[in-house]
Amino acid sequence: MAAEYALRLDLGAADPAQVSPALLSLFDQLKSLAKPDAGSAFLKVLYAHLAGEGGGLELDPENFAGFPTFRWQRPEPDHPSQIVVRISLESPAIADWLRNQLPRLEQFAKGFGIDPRIHAFDTWAPFAGTAAIFGDRARADRLIGAAALRAAGATGQGVNVVIVDRGIESGWVRDARRRAGGSQPSDDRVLGWPRFDFSRRDGAGLPIIRQPGTHASAHGHMIARNILALAPDARLFDVALIPELDAPPALSEASVVFHAINLAVAEKVVLDTHGREPVKVAVRGQCVVVNAWGVLDSAERGADYADNPNHFVVNDMATMDKTGIDMVFAAGNCGEPCPDPRCGETDRGPGRSASGLNAHPAVLSVGAVRADGVPVRLSAQGPGRLHARWLAASMPEAERAREKPDLCAPSHFRETDDALVFNTGTSAACAMAAGVIAALRSLPGLPRAISPAEMRRALRESATGTGGTWHPRLGYGVINVPRAIDAVRRLAAADPA
């Protein structure tokens, strides 16, 4: 049975004269082994370039009209040519052969692994209609003590929040910020990273390029709404990774997203791609990345992702953490007794539903409770699945990987001023936690910015409801904002570990 894989390459300047003959040989074999799909077409163009057979390596729609890629995968003059090749292979034996070739190509090959589909954790209510909705935003805010943020002057000012989701629209964000009481920036366009939209075609039949801040989506706007409710002055960035009409993207596309975000944060520059030519825009301040999505069926395209800490996309989390980026993930909607129907049979319930990226030690994994603190019955249950392999290898990450989710935040509530607008799933909980982090990052008077690891520690240790011990459903409990403010101030005043 064929399975989907991804190979990440760093080709440097992509100069054919400097390319290893061994890499050429590998691609020559791969282009015949891969199934005849978009991935093999990509391989053939790439091989032709590396072999000096004419044509430059241009990741343009003309070359890859059937290959869902991002515009900024294109090699840049000042940066390594980070390229993700998606390949459909007929058998695990071929995948093992390819994996065994990579050590001698480590100069170029930076990762290889199974490439499952990812999905937004869209609304899933276990009852018909609105029966699963309980309480409103005012009650959810009271549960976590959100008022303490405004009282402390923590509004998210100077903090950048990247929403990796279905898309947000600049005009909607402007109105939502106003309703939340935020100040309007002089340039209120939503920047971010563009992507090819394969659900729409131009006159030539090519996929259109969807610019950030131009695509309204209910799920993306729910995420933004919950962030701005707690951090109304935070600057939002858009990555419309998961289109609503197109086929679900693969995990490897998220890897390209993470590479681009990491590069932007490290260099403090993001490209404004709305004009004819991209323009560099300086970006200062801390960065929070919000991910209300994940793999629902880890066996759909072959196993070896959900519990594999060595998967190259899973390893991206440690890289983001070192750059100083707060990575926030929804724990997932595959908890029992009411998992999302799309969840795979091996991805449901305790010890199976908190997996992969969503349960990495270097991310904040957020489960969901109602506005009165009662657990939402779809929220993922630990222990985290990455724990077992790290434990077997006696790795220090094992304990932190076991205790996933980290904590919970409110979900399944209405808006106070509009009873027909709902906030649901671990998606809404994830967004609320991200909003709290963005606000905490803007606390005035802190002697230093604490690290992402310290922020996770502050939120875990200040959460309430479990007596300070970890619980498979609740993590360390529900976010408690007043206690979190005290914890952040205490850590910021201490010398970094």
Name the percent of the chain in helix, strand, coil, to the closest 5.
Answer: 35, 20, 45
Say which range, 75-84, 145-154, 386-395, 441-450, has the weakest mean pLDDT. 75-84
Q: How many CA atoms lie within 13 A of 475 on its CB side?
A: 34
Domain check: are 247 and 371 in the same one?
A: yes
Domain check: are 243 and 373 in the same one?
A: yes
Domain check: are 404 and 480 in the same one?
A: yes
- Tens-place pLDDT, residues 328-368: 999 999 999 999 999 999 999 999 999 999 999 999 999 99
Taking the C-alpha atoms of residue 227 and residue 212, their distance in angstroms, rounded to an integer, is 18
Say which range, 39-43, 138-142, 210-214, has the weakest mean pLDDT. 39-43
Taking the C-alpha atoms of residue 414 and residue 335, their distance in angstroms, rounded to an integer, is 22
- Tens-place pLDDT, residues 73-119: 333 444 555 677 777 777 778 788 778 877 777 777 788 888 898 99
Helix (H, G, I), strand (E, B) or coil at 188: coil
Rounded mean pLDDT of 420-440?
96
Range of the domain at 14: 3-114
The pLDDT value recorded for residue 45 is 53
Residue 301 in this model has a pLDDT that exceeds 80:
no
Phi, psi of 438 (to 5 degrees): -60, -40
Domain check: are 150 and 53 in the same one?
A: no
By CB neighbour count within 10 A (0-12 exposed, 13-18 middle, 19+ buried), where does 282 fall?
exposed
- Provide the domain count of the chain: 2
* Residue at a domain's end among 44, 79, 114: 114
At 218, which CATH number?
Answer: 3.40.50.200
Q: Which long-range contacts (CB under 8 A, 24 or more apart) does 91-98 make?
A: 91/1, 91/2, 92/3, 92/302, 94/33, 95/3, 95/5, 98/5, 98/7, 98/26, 98/30
Domain check: are 292 and 409 in the same one?
A: yes
* Residue at a domain's end among 114, 146, 167: 114
- Tens-place pLDDT, residues 35-71: 544 445 555 555 555 555 544 444 343 444 444 433 3
Domain check: are 43 and 138 in the same one?
A: no
- Tens-place pLDDT, residues 365-407: 999 999 999 999 999 999 999 999 999 988 888 889 999 999 9
Domain check: are 89 and 124 in the same one?
A: no
* Residue at a domain's end among 91, 114, 137: 114
- Give me the residue label for tokens 């082994």: 33
Residue 195 in this model has a pLDDT that exceeds 70:
yes
The answer to whether the CB of 437 falls within 8 A of the CB of 364 is yes
Domain check: are 353 and 236 in the same one?
A: yes
Say which range, 26-30, 265-269, 307-311, 465-469, has the weakest mean pLDDT. 26-30
Helix (H, G, I), strand (E, B) or coil at 209: strand
Percent pLDDT > 90 in the chain is: 54
Please give the model's pTM, rounded to 2 decimal places.
Answer: 0.89
221-250 exposure pattern, b = at least 16 Cβ within 10 A, e = fewer: bbbbbbbbbbbbbbbbbbbbbbbeeeebbb
- Give me the residue label for tokens 């319930």: 349
Domain check: are 92 and 228 in the same one?
A: no
- Whether omega before 383 lies within 30 degrees of 0, making that bond cis, reads yes
The pLDDT value recorded for residue 54 is 44
Phi, psi of 20 (to 5 degrees): -60, 135
The answer to whether the CB of 385 falls within 8 A of the CB of 311 is no
Taking the C-alpha atoms of residue 140 and residue 151, their distance in angstroms, rounded to an integer, is 17
The pLDDT value recorded for residue 75 is 37
Measure Cα distances from 208 to 211, 237, 352 in Å.
Answer: 9, 20, 38
Mean pLDDT rounded to a whole number for the chain: 83
Domain check: are 286 and 329 in the same one?
A: yes
Domain check: are 264 and 399 in the same one?
A: yes
> Could you tell me which residue, 99 or 409, shows the higher pLDDT?
409
Domain check: are 20 and 164 in the same one?
A: no
